[in-house]
A and B are shown apart, each in its own frame.
Chain A
Amino acid sequence: MGPFVPELISDQLNLVVALLLGIAFGAVLEQAGFSSSRRLAGVFYGYDFTVLRVFFTATVTAMSGVLLLGYFGMLDTEAIFVNPIWLVPAIMGGIVMGIGFVLGGYCPGTSICAAAIGKIDAMFFIGGGILGVFAFGELFSLYSNFYDSTSLGSLKVFDSLGLSQGMFAFLLITIAVGAFAVTTLVEKRVNRTSAPSFEFKSWKHFAAGAGIFALGLLFIVLPDRRTHLINKVSDPKYAASHPVIVIDADELAFRIVDREPNIRIIDLRSPGAFASHSLPGADNIALRDLFGKDLIPTLSRRHVKKVLVGNDEGQERTAYLVLRELGYENLAVLQGGFEGFEKTILSPGSFIPMGGRWDGDVKAFRERAREDILKLIAENKNKGVKEPKKAKKVQGGC
């Protein structure tokens, strides 16, 4: 499951990966004609909309790829870097960059590309860029408060607009196709004979547009993987045809007292509930965090029994079925939930005789278990509070 940094790719190797990807990036930029400032500036004057075509197509392609890989569980979308926003500095910076784009005719990436093939104006652009960053750094104390202002975190655009992920993807694709059509017309108006769009036949434009639009429609109905799986297992028909393995409180208590190494307790309850009362050695992982790639090593050990503990059996069952859907094995649901375990094992004098010949033994065992487990819980509390496991995110940014 991607991304492969940092588990499979070390920081050093990542630098080599960066170099290789950069070569691909530079080659494509140059092939697209982004090594020409006149071509780049054309988007602002209507004589050459290459920038728009390339930009929009690249965005739609990459975005669609991320959504699809996420849906099929090949990419951990919680672990990838989503650049955070400082709202006012971003807008102000964008405005300044826009002016720089029109005056300079490049952006940083394309300027490097153009300088590589000998464009002297690009070299001046880079030089100016270096001076600009230097000036910014030297005068930083003048605006350091502004620089850090209006930080809103890693917001997702569809959340900010109140749309679902799929709906936003569809709208973006629709806008892109519309923009392609409109700009082609504008280009032909501005440049009656030599518009770049004349290089391709009309039907090709149309076919591409229709294809992308169809992909957009697909996204409206494609839910994100987490929602999809939770809904799937919550369907009563699914639950009826997928029985779960249940472990009762006595068995779990026995394994804890016996210091059984091949057992792992996953506590699905809220951090607050976990902090006040929890079982020794338990990990506090919410249902929504079970999908990440960082848990794969823990959960895929087939000889380790993963016991799911929650507020009630219903919550545990949902988690059990989701984990089965994700491909994990050797799972168990705790009978009666955490409350049941507390009542049966941890509370003194709550023994209800079942009228069998083993009553005496069960009672003795439970009393011993209670003492032992309460001692373990106290020991663990002294070691310090365990942080709830959250997916590790990749660091990125400029």
Chain B
Amino acid sequence: MNTKYMNPYLAGFLLGLVLLVTIFITGRGLGASGAIKSIVVATVDAVASKHAEGSHFYGAYVGPGKDNPVKSWLVFEIAGVLIGGFISGLASNRMKFVTEAGPSIRPKVRCLFAAIGGALFGIGAQFARGCTSGAALSGMAVLSTAGFITMLAIFGSGYAVAYFARRLWI
């Protein structure tokens, strides 16, 4: 698919502005992995609330007197990302049900690895207290050590294993 994307420097500048406005108004940065965590916690709480409340992990977010975890800043933000991506895709005529993969990979295999990659990201983001948007990008904007270390770890590790996964992409 060779579609016309925006100039990356312009896109980066706009992204930086969105992040800046976010920090200016709310005092915090953007994020993503936290929304997934909130959704999982809320689901576990809905299905098995005793288990959730007793757990060291879920328990911090649920219980009497606490709001539903879904009523969190990041969940609302992610809902916005969904809408914004949709509008942009619609406007640029990029709406299409498709599986993206390298030239020598079957869609089924690609989707399996996408799920594995997602699971790894989900787990890693818990330990690092954030992902590329929340910990790395937003962290670096406020010059936090956590932001830079997390970013270096993500990309360093990615480059280290890229060779072994090259069949997926090239």
Give the B-binding residues of A (Cβ under 8 A).
2-5, 9, 14-33, 35-39, 41-45, 47, 50, 53-63, 65-66, 69, 74-75, 79-87, 89-109, 111-122, 124-137, 140-141, 144, 147, 152, 154-160, 165, 168-169, 196, 199-200, 208, 393-398
Whether B73 pairs with A15 at a CB distance below 8 angstroms is yes
Q: How far is the CA of A175 from the CA of B84 in the complex (A)?
A: 31
Question: Which residues from chain A contact B161 at a C-beta distance below 8 Å?
Answer: 98-99, 102-103
Counting chain A CB atoms within 10 Å of each CB, the highest count among B15, B77, B85, B155 belongs to B85
Q: How far is the CA of A201 from the CA of B49 in the complex (A)?
A: 59
Chain A nearest CB, measured from B91 CB (Å): 9
Chain B nearest CB, measured from A159 CB (Å): 8
Q: How far is the CA of A5 from the CA of B24 in the complex (A)?
A: 9
Q: How far is the CA of A390 from the CA of B87 in the complex (A)?
A: 43
Q: Please pick, from B5, B37, B144, B150, the residue contacting A31 in the complex, using a CB distance under 8 A.
A: B5
B3-35 interface (Cβ within 8 A of A):
3, 5-9, 11-35
Question: Which residues from chain A contact B89 at a C-beta distance below 8 Å?
Answer: 30, 35, 116-118
Whether B95 pairs with A117 at a CB distance below 8 angstroms is yes
Q: How far is the CA of A41 from the CA of B162 in the complex (A)?
A: 9
Whether A28 pairs with B154 at a CB distance below 8 angstroms is no
Whether A25 pairs with B8 at a CB distance below 8 angstroms is no
Q: Contacts A23-B84, A83-B146 known; A57 to B8 CB distance under 8 Å?
A: yes
Q: Please pick, from B111, B122, B129, the residue contacting A132 in the complex, using a CB distance under 8 A.
A: B122
Q: Please pick, from A21, A32, A103, A141, the residue contacting B21 in the complex, using a CB distance under 8 A.
A: A21
Give the A-binding residues of B (Cβ under 8 A).
1, 3, 5-9, 11-37, 39-41, 44, 55-58, 71, 73-74, 76-89, 92, 94-102, 107, 110-135, 137-162, 165-166, 168-170
* 28 residue pairs bridging A and B, Cβ less than 8 Å apart: A17-B25, A18-B73, A21-B30, A22-B79, A26-B88, A31-B5, A33-B6, A37-B114, A58-B16, A62-B137, A62-B141, A63-B142, A65-B23, A93-B124, A97-B154, A98-B158, A102-B161, A104-B115, A119-B99, A124-B112, A133-B126, A154-B144, A156-B143, A157-B140, A168-B143, A393-B27, A396-B27, A398-B134
Whether A109 pairs with B133 at a CB distance below 8 angstroms is yes
Chain B nearest CB, measured from A235 CB (Å): 28
Top 4 A-B pairs, shortest CB-CB distance: A104-B117, A22-B80, A94-B153, A61-B16
Whether A93 pairs with B125 at a CB distance below 8 angstroms is yes
Chain A nearest CB, measured from B2 CB (Å): 8
Describe A's contact surface by its main secondary structure: helix
Residue of A nearest to B118 (CB): A128
Whether A54 pairs with B76 at a CB distance below 8 angstroms is no
Whether A132 pairs with B85 at a CB distance below 8 angstroms is no
Q: Please pick, from A45, A81, A98, the residue contacting B160 in the complex, using a CB distance under 8 A.
A: A98
Chain B nearest CB, measured from A203 CB (Å): 14
Q: How far is the CA of A127 from the CA of B113 in the complex (A)?
A: 12
Chain A nearest CB, measured from B17 CB (Å): 6
Whether A101 pairs with B121 at a CB distance below 8 angstroms is yes
Q: How far is the CA of A228 from the CA of B21 in the complex (A)?
A: 25
Question: Which residues from chain B contact A107 at a C-beta distance below 8 Å?
Answer: 32, 121, 131-133
Q: Please pick, from A9, A42, A96, A152, the residue contacting B25 in the complex, using a CB distance under 8 A.
A: A9
Q: Contacts A36-B1, A109-B133 known; A136 to B122 CB distance under 8 Å?
A: yes
Taking A61-B17, A83-B130, A120-B107 as known contacts, 12 extra A-B pairs with beta carbons closer than 8 A to each other, sorted by chain A number, are A28-B88, A30-B89, A42-B169, A59-B137, A65-B24, A84-B144, A86-B127, A95-B124, A99-B117, A105-B117, A128-B116, A398-B134
Chain B nearest CB, measured from A293 CB (Å): 10
Q: Contacts A63-B143, A112-B32 known; A157 to B148 CB distance under 8 Å?
A: yes
Question: Which residues from chain A contact B132 at a C-beta distance below 8 Å?
Answer: 55, 97, 101, 107-109
Q: How far is the CA of A17 from the CA of B80 in the complex (A)?
A: 10
Residue of A nearest to B76 (CB): A18
Residue of A nearest to B111 (CB): A124
Whether A157 pairs with B128 at a CB distance below 8 angstroms is no
Q: How far is the CA of A74 from the CA of B156 in the complex (A)?
A: 36
Whether B26 pairs with A3 at a CB distance below 8 angstroms is yes
Counting chain A CB atoms within 10 Å of each CB, the highest count among B18, B57, B127, B160 belongs to B127
Whether B85 pairs with A19 at a CB distance below 8 angstroms is no
Question: Which residues from chain A contact B149 at a C-beta distance below 8 Å?
Answer: 85, 87, 90-91, 94
Question: Which residues from chain B contact A20 at a C-beta distance below 8 Å?
Answer: 80
Question: Which residues from chain A contact B57 at a C-beta distance below 8 Å?
Answer: 136-137, 140, 144
Chain B nearest CB, measured from A213 CB (Å): 14
Whether B27 pairs with A5 at a CB distance below 8 angstroms is yes
Chain A nearest CB, measured from B116 CB (Å): 5
Whether A157 pairs with B145 at a CB distance below 8 angstroms is yes
Question: Which residues from chain A contact B150 at a C-beta distance below 8 Å?
Answer: 90, 93-94
